[in-house]
Amino acid sequence: MSTDRFYSNMLKRQKSLFKNLSILACENDIFISEKSARKIIKRWLETGEIADRKSINKGRKHTKITYRELKKIDKMIEKNREYTPRKIKESLRLRCSQRSIRRFIQTLGLKYRKTKFCQAISVKNRKERLFYCFMCLFTNENFDDIIFFDETTVELRFYSRKRWVKNVENDPSKGRVGVHKHNPKIHVLAGISRRGGTRAAIFTGKLDSAAFQDLFSEYITPFIREKYPNMHRLYMDYDPKHTSFSTYAYLERHFINHFKSPPQSPDLNPIELVWNDLKYFLETDFKPKTLSDLVIGISRFWEMKTIELNGLATGI
């Protein structure tokens, strides 16, 4: 017998059961309406249970995405991490909203965030990096006679990395700072070691192999002759101007011992930490407003940091 027919065959005296049930519940501090009592009895007649069915979707009683569709979404994202909820909805012809799709994707442990970048390293170079690190550990390398050398580019900026912002209704900029499309830039060339730092070469324009050799003769070679008269090793990356035939010939002619580093490994050069401190000092403390102020700020930073650079190479 169906539930509707069961209700229709009930006498009026029996139909008062719902009202009496709600009154009995109120006497036991359980507030339930006559309509709710009817639903409870109907559920008991149909399923033999009084409690609600447990949802398999974390409390969501109704879902418009099936398990098979969720599996397809997971495979699509594995193939292409740049798929948006809108693209997924159009590809699979889902009937739910984009917000629901985003919510179900989050149940897979995925979050749609801004892309973060890191150093790209090929499989071959990963093995060379690992071999280099194992050799340093095996030989107890302490980098006493190594000069870590590199260049960097400093851009003239008129703002710090972080600042306080207050929401003002009539502020058209909304706390944003105007940025020039092409800010003036200055290049810095220098080296560090356990015995101090070299002089910093500050220049503008492009640097080819010939100009690099001239700066090296003026700023790096005197430091090597003074601090490392007996034995030294020069650590620098695989920049084209560092590995050209003319540069290699120049290094051999001046008896410069080039210590070959693993490719695609700028993170193994501790001078990168110095460049990071330099840019933070200029943006936060010095705040240059002109190109000449930028040169003064770089020179002042290098003078303050030269003494501290003695033990910086141990940070590798």
Q: What is the rounded distance in angstroms from the CA atom of residue 141 to the CA atom of residue 143?
A: 6
Residues paired with 147 in a beta bridge: 234
**Amino acid 54: pLDDT:** 55
Residues paired with 260 in a beta bridge: 236
- Count other Cβ atoms within 10 Å, centred on residue 120: 7
Q: For the chain (length 316 residues), average pLDDT per consecutive 10?
A: 50 54 67 74 72 53 74 91 90 88 89 82 90 92 91 85 73 74 90 91 93 95 93 92 94 92 87 92 89 93 80 48
Residue 85 · residue 102 · CB < 8 Å: yes
**Amino acid 208: pLDDT:** 93
Q: What is the rounded distance in angstroms from the CA atom of residue 240 to the CA atom of residue 217?
A: 18
What share of residues in the chain are helix, strand, coil (percent, to 5)? 50, 10, 40
**Amino acid 13: pLDDT:** 47
Residue 110 amino acid letter: L
Task: Assign 299 to helix, strand or coil.
Answer: helix
In this structure, whether the domain defined by 125-163+183-315 belongs to CATH 3.30.420.10 is answered with yes
**Amino acid 314: pLDDT:** 46
Q: What is the DSSP string of 133-198?
A: HHHHHHTT---TTEEEEEEEEEE--SS-S-------TT-SSTT-----SS--EEEEEEEEETTEE-
Domain edges within the chain: 3-47, 67-106, 125-163+183-315
Q: What is the rounded distance in angstroms from the CA atom of residue 65 to the CA atom of residue 95?
A: 8
Residue 16 amino acid letter: S
**Exposed/middle/buried for 140, CB within 10 Å: 0-12, 13-18, 19+?**
exposed
Residues paired with 154 in a beta bridge: 186
- Total-model pTM: 0.65
Q: What is the DSSP string of 29-58?
A: T----HHHHHHHHHHHHHHS--SPPPPSST
Task: Assign 233 to helix, strand or coil.
Answer: strand
Return the residue matching tokens 């705040």: 287
Q: What is the rounded distance in angstroms from the CA atom of residue 227 to the CA atom of residue 220?
A: 11
**Amino acid 154: pLDDT:** 94
Residues paired with 201 in a beta bridge: 189
Q: 232: closest CA among 269, 286, 191, 202?
A: 191
Structure tokens at 7: 């209700």
Residue 314 · residue 195 · CB < 8 Å: no
**Amino acid 212: pLDDT:** 95
**Amino acid 249: pLDDT:** 95
Residue 94 · residue 64 · CB < 8 Å: yes
Q: What is the rounded distance in angstroms from the CA atom of residue 301 to the CA atom of residue 204?
A: 18
